[in-house]
Amino acid sequence: MTAMDVMHPEIQDGCTRRTVLITSAAGVVAATLPLAGGAAPAADTAQVAPLAELTLRINGQPHSLTVDPRVTLLDLLREHLHLTGAKKGCDHGQCGACTVMVNGRRINSCLTLAVMHDGDAVTTIEGLGDPKKLHPMQAAFVKHDGYQCGYCTPGQICSAVGMLDEMRRGMPSHVTRDIAVRPLFSDEELRERMSGNICRCAGYPNIIAAIREVVEKTAGAAA
């Protein structure tokens, strides 16, 4: 007795491997088909998440929205409000291309749900400036060529603006004035503070130069 006889005792002698495979495949297909006149397969009973209502102030404008509670802040901005400046790079919070500011603090919008920010103020790259009146950080990026492909640039600029706000909040006024003469933060520290934003074109020297210019101009104006 062969192994084939043990596995398929009902198959007569002389059957080839091809006929065994065809017979087996036909049985699998038949098993997946509904019986004639039988009941239809049970409908999917999975519950659909109820929609959530929230209000956000985005770039100074109030928005009342009804969204799936599973929608991220990034997808709400891009897909619901068509504010596509924030980019979906890695969608895992690793590249920083989706950086926006919420209540003045920079965050990765791909890592947070929109419903978590009901009542919050959100600023995107579209809210910082426009072609006729650029934000100082935008103007500095243009001046110093702080970009190449430009995909990471909105996140870089939002992160840089948020970083400088963090610095100002943590420094007394006399220290802020000193930055104009003696930079308080080295380029290495600025790089560390911006390390959450990846530039795959490796335009980091120009990005740091742009940020440095804004730091010094801001400090000079404060003095």
Answer whether residue 33 is part of any domain.
no
Answer whether residue 34 is part of any domain.
no
Which tokens belong to 219? 């400090």
Q: Which of 128, 145, 179 is the last residue of a domain?
A: 128
Answer whether residue 156 is part of any domain.
yes
Task: Indicate if the pLDDT at residue 104 is higher than 70.
Answer: yes
From 74-78, 171-175, 176-180, the region with the lowest mean pLDDT = 176-180
Answer whether residue 42 is part of any domain.
no
Q: Which of 128, 151, 184 is the last residue of a domain?
A: 128
Answer whether residue 157 is part of any domain.
yes
Coil vs helix vs strand at 61: strand
Q: What is the side-by-side strand order in the sheet with 52-58?
A: 61-67, 52-58, 121-123, 99-102, 105-108
For position 180, what pLDDT does the model report? 46
**CATH number of the domain where residue 216 is located:** 1.10.150.120
Same domain, 152 and 220: yes
Same domain, 144 and 223: yes
For position 20, what pLDDT does the model report? 64
Same domain, 158 and 188: yes
In the structure, what pLDDT confidence band is assigned to residue 49 with cuts at 50, 70 and 90? confident
pTM above 0.85, yes or no: no
Answer whether residue 95 is part of any domain.
yes
Q: Which of 128, 155, 190 is the last residue of a domain?
A: 128
Range of the domain at 218: 129-223
Same domain, 115 and 133: no
For the chain, the distance separating the N- and C-terminal CA atoms, rounded to the nearest angstrom, is 98
Q: Look at the chain and report how many structural domains it folds into.
A: 2
Answer whether residue 90 is part of any domain.
yes
Same domain, 174 and 192: yes
For position 21, what pLDDT does the model report? 62
**Contacts for 62-66 with beta carbons within 8 Å, 24 or more apart?**
65/114
In the structure, what pLDDT confidence band is assigned to residue 215 with cuts at 50, 70 and 90? confident
Please state the separation of Cα 126 from the chain's center in Å.
16
Task: Indicate if the pLDDT at residue 11 is higher than 90.
Answer: no
